[in-house]
């Protein structure tokens, strides 16, 4: 039986970008990469940013190494 693993990452919200715009930009990046996270939500416990859960380490690693906040267009 194959075990299933998941990994949740935290990404800080950049200063000066509203939460809605930041969430939209995260979702757009994920969609462009054809990645479907387990969840994408506001981070709890007073952290300013988002928690993103991935089904596998490969997607989490790809997100972590490739994602960057792009300047507002």
DSSP single-letter state for residue 23: H
Pairing verdict, β 39-42 and 7-12: unpaired
Residue 72 has pLDDT above 50, yes or no: no
What global pTM score does this model have? 0.76
Let me know if residue 47 belongs to a domain.
Answer: yes
CA separation for the pair 30, 24 (Å, rounded):
10
Let me know if residue 1 belongs to a domain.
Answer: no
- Between residues 4 and 46, which one has the greater pLDDT? 46
Let me know if residue 19 belongs to a domain.
Answer: yes
Let me know if residue 73 belongs to a domain.
Answer: no
CA angle 52/13/65 to nearest 5° reads 55
pLDDT at 5: 67
Let me know if residue 51 belongs to a domain.
Answer: yes
**Three-state DSSP class for residue 8:** strand
Domain count, the chain: 1
pLDDT at 1: 42
Structural domain for 17, as ranges: 7-66
pLDDT at 70: 47
Let me know if residue 39 belongs to a domain.
Answer: yes
pLDDT at 60: 87
């Amino acid at each position: 039986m194959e075990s299933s693993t998941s990994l949740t990452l935290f990404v800080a919200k950049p200063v000066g970008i509203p939460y809605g715009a930041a969430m939209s930009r995260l979702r757009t990046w994920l969609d462009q990469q054809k990645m479907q996270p387990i969840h994408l939500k506001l981070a709890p416990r007073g952290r300013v940013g988002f928690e993103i859960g991935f089904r596998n380490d490969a997607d989490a690693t790809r997100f972590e190494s490739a994602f960057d906040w792009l300047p507002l267009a």
